[in-house]
């Protein structure tokens, strides 16, 4: 079983749609949680950290459920520029390393 599981997609959605991605992690000792965005043939870039109380950054909302070991990302009013791979990333439970999911691919279409 992978340490961080994501649906690889692709999710093809029209502009303006709302889309949600989910992620589960296996290490209950994990301490920090993130969503990274990766464009094709580019490096991963931090989109947002995920806090226990849930947090919002513009059109993006992240939620964490520690009991279920589940993380989500909601994107409202999708833009063409949101097309990318979204990586669920977990840190802690032994060391400083980041543990990545395989990523969920999003394609926003006209």
Partner 1 sequence: EAGVTQFPSHSVIEKGQTVTLRCDPISGHDNLYWYRRVMGKEIKFLLHFVKESKQDESGMPNNRFLAERTGGTYSTLKVQPAELEDSGVYFCASSPITGDNWPAEAFFGQGTRLTVV
Which residues bind to partner 1, rule: CB under 8 A? 2, 4, 31-32, 42-46, 49, 87, 91-92, 95-103
Residue 44 vs 106, nearer CB to partner 1? 44
Task: Compute the least distance from the CB of residue 96 to partner 1, in Å.
Answer: 6
Task: Compute the least distance from the CB of residue 2 to partner 1, in Å.
Answer: 7
Residue 83 vs 103, nearer CB to partner 1? 103
User: Which residues 6+ apart lie within 8 Å of 32 measured at CB?
Assistant: 49, 90, 91, 92
Task: With CA atoms as reference, report the closest residue to 107 among 87, 88, 84.
Answer: 84
- In sign, the C-alpha dihedral spanning 79, 18, 58, 85 is negative
DSSP class of residue 3 equals: S
Task: Compute the least distance from the CB of residue 77 to partner 1, in Å.
Answer: 25
């Amino acid at each position: 079983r992978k340490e961080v599981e994501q649906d690889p997609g692709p999710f093809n959605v029209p502009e303006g749609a709302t889309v949600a991605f989910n992620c589960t992690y296996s290490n209950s000792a994990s301490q920090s949680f993130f969503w990274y965005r990766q464009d094709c043939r580019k490096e991963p870039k931090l989109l947002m950290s995920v806090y226990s109380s849930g947090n919002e950054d513009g059109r993006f909302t992240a939620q964490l459920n520690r009991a279920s070991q589940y993380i989500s990302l909601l994107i409202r009013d999708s833009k063409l520029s949101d097309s990318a791979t979204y990586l669920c990333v977990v840190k802690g439970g032994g060391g400083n390393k980041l543990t990545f999911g395989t990523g969920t691919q999003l394609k926003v279409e006209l």
